[in-house]
Structure 1
């Protein structure tokens, strides 16, 4: 009976984790370049008891183990904006930016602009990295444009090239806040694996219908598991009460 309660609690913990992932996906349905995540779980079978005095063999107990999440790198819808500084990232590439403290981070947010210091930045204010550092332009320059290969040019010529990178193992990417990712594996030049579409933005690849369906499934399963735990707890209380009344 106690084991059944433990199994139920492990299921509830896993369902709560999945609910958090779904909530985060839904909260970022309108975030430029956001990539949804899916929970991963693994079955854990408890070892069978070694005693052989039972009339029937022990049954293995199956628990749920949280194995983290998988990043969905599917292309989000591309929306034309007409803004020459908006770029939709195509393929598996990410834009390298400089985060707080100077660390390099990665994003799919292609809503770019020029800040007061002349730096090309994302809509979140992170400087976009070029091959030699952050890309800057002078106030007197005009005709700022971004090419499909990431080349940034003005009326005075080429000012830099946006650093596009990919990863051998995209699932090593870790959400780092502010629509940024860090990685436990080194980044490599995107090459042909990444291009930009100027004058457009990649929207979130979250599917509202899919997430709502998952949300309903999780809530239904959580309610069912809670009901089972409640009945098992009532059964245990009844058993204790009856055993206490045995003369």
Structure 2
């Protein structure tokens, strides 16, 4: 029974993939009969698989009865593209981690939020305890402040109108006006720092990066007793950020 079920399941998966491939060739949709013919499947089999794929969001049925690729498959394609891009820069992030024994972070500003895309750490370079998510701590992290520094005035105001500047440590800046003043007068621009503003005992430095038109930040965290190295690290971050931006902006 097991030997019989295995090949049957494999065959069903193969048929579903063939239908998806056929549907991908028709931007404006195609009827089940045409997809069945192009996939080399009996019409009844195609109907059954299309219903299943549509139920799970991999195929979408149009009002005219045609079928196109669904939102779920589009999301997988986007995620796959993002993973491919990140795979290009992980060696660069790891090299930075190994050189300075610092956890390395990459964030992006997407849909109005600052999101962590990658963290490269290790036994000698532990990451900071992310006890508050970056979406709620953009004002207190070097990575978040790097993004805010690069945004235009309208985008900054819009972001700050949606986020409360909570005092995460006694050093956290909680005044929007003071935060913007310090961002615009950063003595290490275009880099910015977080001097125990997110977590006591930890300092960070970050610089801007881009993935195409998407703004982000590259940064590192280190114990406060190594603060004296922050200028050396900043000097290395700038050319590294340029390499990361070039890698992320290449067409896949």
Shorter-chain TM range is under 0.3
More helix by share: 2
TM-score, scaled to structure 1: 0.27
Report which of the two has the higher share of strand: 1
TM value normalised by structure 2: 0.27
